[in-house]
Amino acid sequence: MTTGFDLTIEEQLAILMSREVNDWETSACGALSFIPATAMLLGREMRAPNAEIIILGSRDYSPFVTGKDFHFHAQRGQLDLFFISAIEIDQHGNFNLHVIGDRDEPDVLMPGQYGTGMLYYAVPRIVMFRTEHTRRSFVDQVNYVSGAGTSPNGVSRRTREVKVITPMAKLNFNQESRIMELGSVHEGFSVDQVVENTGFNLGIRGEIDKTPQITEEEVHTLRTVVKSHMIDSETYPNEAANLIREP
């Protein structure tokens, strides 16, 4: 992404994802989730001072004793936004966190989802993200459905909005057609580049929006206020020190 700010991938994604955090909502991410944790803290600083933030495994932002407590929290309808890092995503909104290849004899065995599939049903807004945008990640059909993008008729589901944010673009899941579509393209990239690096039809109809440019205020706030707070609060302090640049 050409912004003039010499951003790391982590910084770029955190800034773009921070724009999804809304005031008076509860936003959350799982453990081992540096990028969405950074995004939520930045979103709160920039535009949502009354946002409630849950970062599982953190000292200051994890009010639960066990993971089950968090899942029950979501099932009670007390979570508005959840961030998911998927390995594979397909045109039907399915994601894979389990295996590449045959399930019984996998080429790659991944750690799994730990309840993420359930959260995909229970949380109204989902933001998935990838640190790369390639045909390896965006496939016609995932090798294994860890979380299903749609449900059969008659199955209750609270999901009403699904987005995917990558270094190239933002994709939106169309709840009516049940197909992942291209929403906007980031600065420095073209629609053709996104299409070339996506393994399915993006449902392009007409002109595609450009993602609003990353601002100097967003970068400065990330590299000063948010970085300092993450280190002081021991919220991914090593990652913050190494992956968020100096102002």
Dihedrals phi, psi of 194, to nearest 5 degrees: -65, -45
Residue 33 · residue 185 · CB < 8 Å? no
Predicted confidence at residue 118, as pLDDT, reads: 87
The residue ranges of every structural domain in the chain are: 9-239
Fold of 9-239: Glutaconate Coenzyme A-transferase (3.40.1080)
Q: How far apart are CA 163 and CA 51, in angstroms?
A: 19
Predicted confidence at residue 110, as pLDDT, reads: 64
Q: Which secondary-structure segment (H or E) carries 239?
A: helix 237-243
| Predicted model pTM | 0.94
Predicted confidence at residue 109, as pLDDT, reads: 64
Predicted confidence at residue 112, as pLDDT, reads: 64
Predicted confidence at residue 111, as pLDDT, reads: 67
Question: Which SS3 state, helix, strand or coil, does residue 122 take?
Answer: helix
Predicted confidence at residue 4, as pLDDT, reads: 76
Predicted confidence at residue 66, as pLDDT, reads: 72
Strand positions, DSSP E, the chain? 26-29, 52-55, 81-85, 88-90, 95-96, 99-101, 106-109, 125-129, 138-139, 161-165, 169-174, 179-185, 209-210
Name the burial class of residue 209, with classes exposed (0-12), middle (13-18) and buried (19+) by CB atoms within 10 angstroms of its CB: exposed
Contacts of 15 (CB under 8 A, 6+ apart): 7, 39, 42, 214, 218, 219, 222
Specify the pairing of strand 138-139 against strand 125-129.
Answer: unpaired
Q: How far apart are CA 80 and CA 192, in angstroms?
A: 34
Question: Which SS3 state, helix, strand or coil, does residue 14 take?
Answer: helix
Provide block-wise average pLDDT over 10 residues at a time, the chain (247 residues): 80 98 96 95 98 94 84 92 94 89 69 78 96 96 91 85 98 94 97 98 93 97 98 97 96
Nearest CA to 128 among 158, 86, 93? 86
Nearest CA to 65 among 77, 57, 75? 57
